[in-house]
Amino acid sequence: MQIDRITSEDCAALIERAGLSLNQAQFEAALRSYGRLRELAESLRIPRNRAAEPAHLFHVPASPHAGASAFAKTETRRETGDE
Amino acid sequence: MPEIWELGLSAISRLIGQRKLSPVDVLDHYLDRACRLNPTLHCFNTIDAERARIEARSSEAEMSRGLYKGRMHGIPFAVKDIIDVEGVATTNGSRLTINEVAKTDSAVVQRLRAAGGIYMGKNETQEFAMGGPDFSLPFGPARNPWDIERFTGGSSSGSASAVSAGAVPLAIGTDTGGSIRTPSAYCGIAGMKPTYGRLSRRGITPQAFSLDTVGPMTWTVEDNAIALEALAGFDPEDPSSVEIAPQPWSQAPALGLQGMKIGLVRRFHEEERDRFSNECISAFETAALLMKDAGAETVEVRLSPLRHYFAAQRIIMYGEAAAIHEYDLRHNIEQYGPFSVERFLPGYLLTAVDYVQACRRRGELVHELAEVFRFVDLLLVVGALSVAPRMKDVARNSLVNGTPSANAPFNLTGSPAMSVSAGLNADGFPLSVQIVGRNFDEFSIYRAAHVVEAGMGCRNIRPHAAR
């Protein structure tokens, strides 16, 4: 698959993977937008260190006190057979 | 003697506060205008006259008892039809949700009502804030009051049209890639996209979670600042909401620009020189001179190319929007208008890697802008690409294939950014510039925006359709 173009067959595969069912006009619209979309997406690929991950981080929420955790309570119930 | 609508929010508010104008008279005046103009402009999906009259009478009774809630008390407002109002359908301008009645008010409507504002109706929106001027849908498209054959810009189309025509003094819009600022530019009004997290988005249909912002649209900068004071506030029920003190925004316009340093972002339009109209670039240069005359220091600032900001914003927007609409596009695609389908489709052609690369680029560009703001207080950026185009020339694929928008970078960075009127071109259509601030410094933006607006001297000229 070339970056700036896509065959009808390949585009159909992408649409099917997405779970969409398009009519002919919608399918042609997808086909038409693909080249420009790839151009935008490729412009994001600038040389950068493998470890450079300034934006896509997961912020772990503070855990509640163990006594307040529903999970901990469930385990306790199981241990005591109190279900 | 000017009519009530010609006074604008600020003067009306002052007169209501002095008990020289009645909230009931103000509302009746705007309701009359809205009902008269709507068949031409299609700027309202709903006009809720009965409920508004009850609220206006209640406001009047409160003031008679000496209870004055502040500058928004007795001021009518409307909201884009992706914003929930209790008991009213949030249609999103779509057949899909035309009967989905909201159970509670959105946070912004709650805040405006608490400040004494009077809900008047729902403004037309492009479908799910993503579609275009689509004649196949049940509402709109809204028409531009400066020329009803021209595009209002989107997606807060009805909000801009209604304010510009004087059918309501305040409308609330949303902005994911320029949806407050482009309609404000095309319709010649003041539109603020506050910092991401400044206003709660609870009760607003999302378009792209990490980019969506809600903000006020008004005729003048001062009107806008008054509205923001009522709208802003922390909301623990919106995960993006930031707990930060408000600023006395309505005091900003009086302060001028002495001692401020303005960065001029010429690079954005110079690199896309053939795509920005000469008159829009002239408006940028005039605004720069006005700021300098007002005592600001101006310096050239070089950011990464506009295309880099635009690409990251678009990939994130497409990916998030596609995720939000995945179920309905799989099962109810026939309910969407053709503009929307075409504009949602790119999200399904992207890869997970594309989305992550856009997020990485976003972090780098956010850092770049933060570095720039160590040396300047504000940025002046070109506004819309041109004056409002003819509606028939707006392409369905313009979101992906069109010229990079100079609005989109500041959704990507979360920065506060305002579109401010910069006069009219030779044919009498509105021009604009964009002023961008440090995160959570909407105050400085209002200072500069007022200088530009006053210097251009165009607030007494209203569109033909308003007459």
Does residue A24 lie in a domain region? yes
Interchain contact, B311 vs A44, CB within 8 Å: yes
| Residues of A in Cβ contact (< 8 Å) with B358 | 41, 44
Where residue B340 falls (left for φ over 0; alpha for ψ -120 to 50; beta otherwise) is alpha
- A20 and B330 within 8 Å at the Cβ level: the answer is yes
The predicted structure's pLDDT at residue A70:
56
| A51 at interface of B, judged by CB pairs closer than 8 A | no
Contact residues, chain B, for A56 at CB < 8 Å: 356, 359-360, 363
Is B354 in contact with A43 (Cβ distance < 8 A)?
no
Selected residue with higher pLDDT from B465 and A81:
B465
Residues 21-40 of A with CB under 8 A from B: 21-22, 25-26, 29-30, 32-34, 36-37, 40
Between B128 and A82, where is the model more confident? B128
pLDDT for res A49: 86
Query: B7-466 maps to which CATH number?
Result: 3.90.1300.10
Identified catalytic residue from B10, B13, B59, B80:
B80
Q: Yes or no: say if B383 and B193 are a contact pair by the CB < 8 Å rule.
A: no
The DSSP output letter for B385 is S
Neighbours of B182 (CB within 10 A): 29
pLDDT by residue (tens digit) across A34-74? 998 999 999 999 998 888 866 667 778 777 766 655 555 55
**Mean pLDDT of all residues belonging to chain A:** 79
pLDDT confidence band for A1 (50 / 70 / 90): very low
Q: Mapped to the 3 state alphabet, what secondary structure does B295-354 carry? A: CCEEEECCCCCHHHHHHHHHHHHHHHHHHHCHHHHHHCHHHCCHHHHHHHCHHHHCCHHH
Active site (annotated) includes residue B155 = yes
Give domain status of residue A50, yes or no.
no
Q: Is residue A79 part of a domain?
A: no
B295 C-beta neighbours (distance < 10 Å), count? 12
**Average pLDDT, integer, range A72-80:** 53
**The predicted structure's pLDDT at residue A83:** 39
Rg (CA), chain B: 20
Q: Is residue A74 part of a domain?
A: no
User: Pairing between strand B213-218 and B170-175?
Assistant: antiparallel
Question: Is B318 touching A (CB cutoff 8 A)?
Answer: yes
Residue B367 contacts A where some CB pair is shorter than 8 Å? yes
Chain A partners within 8 Å of B338 (Cβ): 25-26
Is residue A49 included in any domain, yes or no? no
Per the annotation, the verdict on B103 as an active-site residue is: no
Are the C-beta atoms of residues A1 and A10 closer than 8 Å to each other?
Answer: yes
- Whole-number pLDDT of residue B280: 95
**pLDDT mean for each 10 residues of chain B (467 residues):** 94 97 98 98 97 98 96 98 98 97 98 98 97 89 97 96 98 98 98 98 97 98 98 96 95 95 96 90 97 98 96 96 97 95 94 94 94 97 94 76 86 98 96 98 98 94 91
Please name the residue that has the structure tokens 């500041």: B410
- Number of domains making up chain A: 1
**Alpha carbon of residue B109 to chain centroid:** 16
**Strands ordered across the beta sheet of B44-47:** B44-47, B118-123, B76-80, B170-175, B213-218, B190-193, B417-424, B430-437, B378-382, B261-264, B297-300
Cβ of residue A41 closer than 8 Å to a chain B Cβ:
yes
Mean pLDDT of A28-33: 90
A21 contacts B359? CB cut-off 8 A: no
B58 catalytically annotated: no
Domain limits for position A34: 8-42
pLDDT of residue B274: 84
**B362 touches A: beta carbon within 8 Å:** yes
Which positions in chain A touch B360 (Cβ < 8 Å)? 44, 48, 52-56
Is residue A54 domain-resident? no
In a domain? residue A34: yes
A26, part of any domain: yes
